[in-house]
Amino acid sequence: MNFAQPWAWLWLLAVVPVIILYFLRRREKEWSVSALFLWEGIRPDQPLFLERLRQRLDLLLLLQILAVAFFSFSLSHPTVVVSRPSGATLLVLDGSAPAAARGMREKMLAAAREVLENSAGPWAVILWADPPALLCAPTSRPEEVLHGLSQYRANLARRPELAQALALLSEPWPRVVVITPDPPSVPGVEVVAVERPENLGITAFSVRPTPFGTGYEAYVRVFNGQKKYCDAQIRVRTEAGEFWASRLLPPEGEEDVIIPLSGLLAQTFAAELLPSDDFPWDNLRYFAFSGARLGVAWHGQEDRYLWAALRAVASVARTQANPDLTVAVAIDLGEEPLGPLLLWAAGSPACPRGNVREAGPLRAAPSPLLSHISLDRIRLTQVYEVAVPQEATVILWAGDLPLLAIWESPRGRRALFAGNLETSNLPILPDFPILVRNIFGWLVPPQPAPVLLVGQGVALPPDVQVVAGEEMFSGVWVPDQPGLYELRGPNRREYLAVNVPWEASLPPIPEVLPAVEARGAEMEKPLWPWILVLLGPLLFLEAFLYERRGGA
């Protein structure tokens, strides 16, 4: 046993005044008797000194002396040397997405406190997250470590390499303990694996347009990490509505689900898996198509109806350099452009245009491009003779003349509408923008927008801001929550889909790592707090005994 402040034993000298005051306060009590002559002639006893001393000592004095001794003992700060499994210990707490599930924080902190109690110190605490953080600098005081642990919070991002987190401390530590729900394969460190809750989540979500661009197909992969069957409900939300599917998922198994999505043109999509669980962030996944402005190279006559329909379909702007779509109206092109081409009563070298002829009755071949089109309302009197290529698919005829045809060429997709709209009621019908949308969706399929992960930064253009709730960010933006975020700029409206990392939904792959033995260490454990705990009841007992004797 060691004493940090041995001079405190001088407080034992306080026993001397306690004993002196005790004997000065003691008096012989007087007793009333009937007569004194009964004791006359009786020789009084002469008790020994020790007997007289023992008669004067009682429990109250002993309690007071013991209280002084306990007080002196506690002031000297006594410590005992105890063995611990290790000495200097660096605690590394995983702060990535798997550790953000409900109830995981309490499990992680409980494991950290257990390591703290079984080590002699000094200690340091690092948050292994993106970005890593130093929760507690090297210290030998356990209370500072506990304060650092109270700052622990996991985020929904991926974790970096362990070396990046360890780089926060300049010197290597003899013992590194990693507390994580997803054990890493890093040699030379101790790993404390914390069990994750059973998870039900979406591990993959994507949307693609149908081949003719008139609808979409949603691909959803769901994972049941539970040890029982689960009746899961899958819902895909778009601007056009909601689409549902139901699956009975086997225990600890995955299943792919394809959900057809019909309706209007959509840009954002969200897939939801029910019921929810302790990791709800992967029960919702997001997807978006790029809403970037498309460049249109316009050749020939102006057609305000066609241009208005194109602007209603997508964000378009006129350009002649590297266009995304070439539109030719009532003109014969001299050469075949590169990329998608819309021939509107026009011709090209691969599809020469002839004279105008009187249109015959309309007849159509089954095609998604004519979805939601009422042909009986269309009045068309003139059609251009056009020699469509052999590989073309004629969708709509006007008598024996091709009216609407599509084909794939070596230089890109082609679509032809051979009718003369100056003698037709089609531009003023609601079918017209629908037809243009269907043709545009086949010519220029929407491109997926970049799907970001939480914690993955993106550099925004100088004139673009991202809307996150009530805040707006510019420059470099790092999302901290999954969701659909709007990008705003001059004549620009796009969306970004942000999801939690896909691997956070899957259980960790068990790895057999070599055991790392911690070197033993000795530490001094203070005893004075326990002495103070005993001193309180002792003083209470002394006060109780004093009052019971009537203060004497």
Name the pLDDT band for 50 (thresholds 50, 70, 90). low
Cα 428 to Cα 304: distance, rounded to the nearest angstrom: 11
- Count of CB atoms within 10 A of residue 267's CB? 18
**Please, what is the average pLDDT of the chain?**
87
Q: How many CB atoms lie within 10 A of CB 304?
A: 8
Per-residue pLDDT, 548: 72
- Measured at the CA of 154, the angle between CA 177 and CA 454, to 5 degrees, comes to 125
- Residue 193's pLDDT band (boundaries 50, 70, 90)? very high
Locate all alpha helices (DSSP H) within 372-501, ordered by sequence: 431-443
- Give the mean pLDDT of 50-76: 69
Q: What pLDDT does residue 444 have?
A: 93
Q: What is the pLDDT of residues 198-239, one digit of tens each?
A: 999 999 999 998 888 778 999 999 999 999 999 999 999 998
Sheet holding 451-453, edge to edge: 451-453, 492-499, 483-489, 465-468, 471-473
Residue 60: is it exposed, middle or buried by C-beta count within 10 angstroms (0-12/13-18/19+)? middle
Cα–Cα distance for residue pair 188/180, rounded to 1 Å? 16
Note the pLDDT of residue 158: 94
pLDDT at residue 335 above 70?
yes
Q: Band the pLDDT of 266: cuts 50, 70, 90.
A: confident
Contacts of 441 by beta carbon, 8 Å cutoff, 6+ apart: 209, 212, 213, 214, 265, 313
Region label for 103, one of left (φ > 0), alpha (ψ between -120 and 50) or beta (otherwise): left
Q: Which of 471, 505, 469, 501 is nearest to 484 (CA)?
A: 469
Phi, psi of 61 (to 5 degrees): -65, -40
Report the distance separating Cα 61 and Cα 315, nearest Å: 96
d(CA 489, CA 474): 11
Averaged pLDDT, 78-89:
70
Q: Is the pLDDT of residue 52 over 60?
A: no
Task: Specify the long-range contacts of residues 333-337, CB closer than 8 Å, at least 24 apart.
Answer: 333/299, 336/409, 336/411, 337/297, 337/411, 337/412
Cβ atoms 61, 22 nearer than 8 A: yes
In order of 204, 247, 254, 276, 285, the CA distances from 257 in angstroms are: 10, 8, 10, 18, 14
State residue 516's pLDDT score. Answer: 54
Q: Express each pLDDT in 460-515 by its tens digit.
A: 888 889 999 889 999 999 999 999 999 988 766 789 999 999 989 988 876 655 55
Residues 6+ apart with CB under 8 A from 260: 215, 216, 217, 218, 243
pLDDT value of position 314: 86
Contact yes or no for 271/247 (Cβ under 8 A): no
| Cα distance between residue 467 and residue 109, in whole Å | 35
Q: How confident is the model at residue 49 (pLDDT cuts 50, 70, 90)?
A: low
Residue with tokens 């790592």: 513
* Angstrom distances, CA of residue 128 to CA of 104, 153, 314, 482, 498: 15, 10, 44, 20, 22
What is the widest separation between alpha-carbon atoms in the chain? 164
The model's pTM is: 0.73
Average pLDDT of the residues in 238-260: 93
Q: Are 125 and 149 in contact (CB under 8 A)?
A: yes
Output DSSP code: residue 12.
G
Burial of 96 (0-12, 13-18, 19+ CB in 10 A): buried
Separation CA 7–CA 158 (nearest Å): 56
Whole-angstrom Cα distance, residue 198 to residue 152? 23
Determine what percent of the chain is predicted with pLDDT higher than 70.
85
Distance in Å from the first CA to the final CA of the chain: 39
